[in-house]
Structure 1
Amino acid sequence: MTLRPGSQASLRAANVRRVLAAVRAHGVLSQAEIARLTGLSPASVSNIVHQLADSNAVELSPGIRGGRRAQEVRVRSDDGLVVGLDFGHRHIRVAVADLRFAVRAERRHECDVGASAVSALASAEKLVDELLDQIGERRCSVRAVGMGLPAPMGPNGGTVAAWPILPGWETIDPARDLAERLETPVFADNDANLGARGELYFGAGRGVADLAYIKAATGLGAGLVVDGCVYRGFAGSAGEIGHLTIDEMGPVCSCGNRGCLETMVGAPYLLELIRHSHPELRTVDELVSRALEGDGGCRRVIADAGRHIGFVAANLCNVVNPERVVVGGDLAAAGDLLLEPLRAAMPRYAVCSVASTPVVAALTGERAEVLGALVLAVEEFRRRNETPVHDTLAGAAPA
């Protein structure tokens, strides 16, 4: 169900997330304690709690609070597992969790994802089986799998919508093919959208209904959250800020246009900028580490990248007007070396009403996308089991 921004239904969905977040964070609470923690009225809390109990999202039991009888609320224990898969350009990260986001096992595997879809999917299948074996579980216990790819996905999360970004994946439906391998439902989205989900539920986006998540890594992308829901756009390509033109006479991009943001701040471009003075640097992680150690050249490259991203972030805020901008990806590890120039660009390019939009670093780090994949898996599992997504998910910290 699509919730209209500003509607009573969207407000109620946000309140439900606040209630569930409080209960998950504290384990067990009385309704009075939930009201104090969330700021909601006791009557609203009572209505939400009983709705969640009716949908089997929480369980109620008698207890004692302050010497008085009280009804205790705890999230219902669900059977089964979900799997999250984050396919980067050079890695696969997989996590296995229960339906309350307690991560049971997690691993990162280095590989060239773009070289061969078949090989990457085979590696993912092997990683899932290895982690399930590690925790003594089998495939039959997995209820759903969420997966993310560093490319736009079609409107139904099927084929890769812009295949030059991931050559070798253009002829397949990644979710369908992985589902056939794992014999489990698989749901796909692009990595920036999953990063937005990860930060919305577990990181710097908690408690925020309108969020822009910018992933700065090998490529650039944004995940947009509008009224608590990830906005994918008509064709699934919303948030492709890496392909906004910054310089009409700039370098040719993989998408076929010239001077895209990605040609100025993507990892290959940054490493090429520093190659002559620092030929030993091979990765963005190394670039960031040297910058944090005080290397002037590396600091300059990162600061320039921050200004370029700030130009686009400011214009994104002009159009979407998020409550907060969260920056993740490999480059975000530079912290204020990246964020301060980015923030400084906001007043220059944004209209007055959005120029002060907070810009913060992602709190989930390199795990944002895999945690978002877990959220996607639970969302789809709940939806297919007729439990409303907004009544069963909230921002709880994963184990």
Structure 2
Amino acid sequence: MNNSPGLPAAASPKPGSQSALRQRNEQLIVASLRENGALTQADLARVTGLSTATISNIVKAMCASGLATTEPTTSSGRRALAVSLLETPDVAAGIDFGRSHVRIILASPGFAVKAEKFVQLPVGHLARESIATAAAMLESLLAESGIARSQVTGAGVGVPGPIDHRTGTVIRGAILPEWVGVDIVSQLEQALRMPVFADNDANLGALAQVTWGEHRTVRDLMFLKIGSGIGAGLILNGSPYYGHTGITGEIGHAPIFDQGLVCRCGNRGCLETVASTAVMIELLSRGEPAPLSVSDVIDRAMSGDAATLRVIDDAGMAVGKAVANVANMINPEIIVVGGPLAPLGETLLAPIRRGLVRHAVPAVGEGTVVAMSSLGDRAEALGAISLALSHSRHWPR
């Protein structure tokens, strides 16, 4: 039984455990050093919010694994240790499969992006064909960037659908129905010839926010991805939350209207039937000579088109209503919205906030920040890198 993406239970920390929290804290320290350069341990404690004892223990382990080094310095007239990252030739890969794309990013353990590639895929792409495309893209990236295959310590992979971590397979309800029942990890490891760690794309988006984004010190965060499907990733008490089988955050299948349309999951009136980009495009393409794209929807909204703004407002209110039910239960500090509609900014965020405030307990609705992700459409691939790095040999086990 897998308790965490891509690893057997005996080798993987259970999400929410002390081991998972330690990995999260390690990534927080690395990200802080990457952004600020060398810092004393006292400065790291101040920047990250971690205790000095936690900083000291993790820094010792990072030095032992060759990820960091320390040297004596003076801070405020007192002797101290300055901590610096050591650049290594190794990299991790982050692979994001979408409904119609695959993106690969290579980055160092110090969170420095080394190479990136994006390719469009046909809607309804088969797993074996898309995996072969990703393998070819990786080979091309390595050749172009001069990185040897032996330097790639592993790959994190995101897919737009729930993954049962007991079996490692995509289950019913995924945006890619052609991938249902596929053992993602096994097939990707054969194609890529390296360790692979797979997860739902929204979970990886949440992980990216607290490792690459500006929310690295947030301990309770919800990442909401609005695209062809709608999913949520959770960071609770500083660690990714996966629940019993790994199937969490399926907010797109939360019923909003009892008499609504039948959803692809089999239920009626789910959030995805009223607020996904696919539904927006369907509504706004009526009477058009050709179906609109997400870019068209964004452009029309930016130009003030009344019909487009109404569709976005209705969708945002529905999202806010669904989010309110989650917020009432877990009381997140912040809800970060991502996905292809991110350029809309406040045009989308404002109705989500209204729906949240209207349907949540007042103290929760008014006390929860709703913000747009700054990572754009790279969030899932960046989160996949964080997942791979957390299991890399550069990180203490």
Deviations 1:244-278 (A, max 9, x none): 11122211111111111101111221111112255
Q: Which amino acid aligns with 2:271?
A: L
Distance (whole Å) between structure 2 residues aligned to residue 177 and residue 41 of structure 1: 42
Whether the 8 Å CA contact 2:48–2:217 is kept in 1: the answer is no
Which residue number corresponds to residue 104 of structure 2? 94
1:218 to 2:260 alignment: no
Normalization by structure 2: what TM-score? 0.88
Deviations 1:28-76 (A, max 9, x none): 1233443554566766654554454345442112346688864321123
Which residue number corresponds to residue 397 of structure 1? none
Which residue number corresponds to residue 312 of structure 2? 302
Which residue number corresponds to residue 255 of structure 2? 245
Deviations 1:272-299 (A, max 9, x none): 1112255555212210121012111111
Aligned partner of residue 355 in structure 1, secondary structure = helix
Do the aligned partners of residues 13 and 288 (structure 1) sit closer, same or farther apart at CA in structure 2, a change above 3 Å counting? same
1:376 to 2:387 alignment: yes
Deviations 1:60-104 (A, max 9, x none): 123466888643211233341111100010110111112222111
Which residue number corresponds to residue 191 of structure 2? 181
Q: Which amino acid aligns with 1:104?
A: K
Distance (whole Å) between structure 2 residues aligned to residue 234 and residue 70 of structure 1: 44
Please, which moves more after superposition, 163-172 or 176-185? 163-172
Distance (whole Å) between structure 2 residues aligned to residue 126 and residue 159 of structure 1: 23
Aligned partner of residue 168 in structure 1, secondary structure = helix
Distance (whole Å) between structure 2 residues aligned to residue 210 and residue 14 of structure 1: 13
Report 1:319-330 matches (<5 A). Answer: 319-330=329-340
Deviations 1:169-206 (A, max 9, x none): 23421221111011101111011001111112112432
Which residue number corresponds to residue 7 of structure 2? none
Whether the 8 Å CA contact 1:328–1:362 is kept in 2: the answer is yes
Deviations 1:206-242 (A, max 9, x none): 2111111000001100001111111122122100000
Do the aligned partners of residues 30 and 336 (structure 1) sit closer, same or farther apart at CA in structure 2, a change above 3 Å counting? same
Normalization by structure 1: what TM-score? 0.88
Do the aligned partners of residues 130 and 224 (structure 1) sit closer, same or farther apart at CA in structure 2, a change above 3 Å counting? same
1:314 to 324, 330, 333: 324
Which residue number corresponds to residue 155 of structure 1? 165
Deviations 1:337-374 (A, max 9, x none): 11101101122100123112100001101110000010
Do the aligned partners of residues 42 and 147 (structure 1) sit closer, same or farther apart at CA in structure 2, a change above 3 Å counting? closer
1:203 to 185, 191, 213: 213
1:361 to 2:380 alignment: no
Q: Which amino acid aligns with 1:379?
A: S
Q: Which amino acid aligns with 2:257?
A: D
Aligned partner of residue 179 in structure 2, secondary structure = coil
Whether the 8 Å CA contact 1:165–1:254 is kept in 2: the answer is no
Whether the 8 Å CA contact 1:80–1:98 is kept in 2: the answer is yes
Whether the 8 Å CA contact 1:252–1:259 is kept in 2: the answer is yes
List runs of 5+ in structure 1 lacking aligned partners: 389-399
Do the aligned partners of residues 16 and 141 (structure 1) sit closer, same or farther apart at CA in structure 2, a change above 3 Å counting? closer
Distance (whole Å) between structure 2 residues aligned to residue 300 and residue 192 of structure 1: 26
| Deviation of 1:112 (Å) | 2.2
Report 1:325-336 matches (<5 A). Answer: 325-336=335-346
List runs of 5+ in structure 2 lacking aligned partners: 1-12
Which residue number corresponds to residue 9 of structure 2? none
1:130 to 2:134 alignment: no
RMSD of the alignment, in Å? 2.6
Distance (whole Å) between structure 1 residues aligned to residue 177 and residue 25 of structure 2: 43
Whether the 8 Å CA contact 2:220–2:237 is kept in 1: the answer is yes
Distance (whole Å) between structure 2 residues aligned to residue 27 and residue 253 of structure 1: 49
Q: Which amino acid aligns with 2:396?
A: T
Aligned partner of residue 131 in structure 2, secondary structure = helix
Which residue number corresponds to residue 392 of structure 1? none
Whether the 8 Å CA contact 2:31–2:212 is kept in 1: the answer is no
Whether the 8 Å CA contact 1:165–1:255 is kept in 2: the answer is no
Whether the 8 Å CA contact 1:157–1:236 is kept in 2: the answer is no
Q: Percent identity?
A: 41
2:63 to 34, 53, 73: 53
Do the aligned partners of residues 95 and 286 (structure 1) sit closer, same or farther apart at CA in structure 2, a change above 3 Å counting? same
Aligned partner of residue 120 in structure 1, secondary structure = helix
Which residue number corresponds to residue 299 of structure 2? 289
Which residue number corresponds to residue 33 of structure 2? 23
Q: Which amino acid aligns with 1:115?
A: H
Aligned partner of residue 382 in structure 2, secondary structure = helix
Distance (whole Å) between structure 1 residues aligned to residue 274 and residue 283 of structure 2: 9
Aligned partner of residue 206 in structure 1, secondary structure = coil
Whether the 8 Å CA contact 1:224–1:230 is kept in 2: the answer is yes
Aligned partner of residue 221 in structure 1, secondary structure = strand
| Deviation of 1:110 (Å) | 0.5
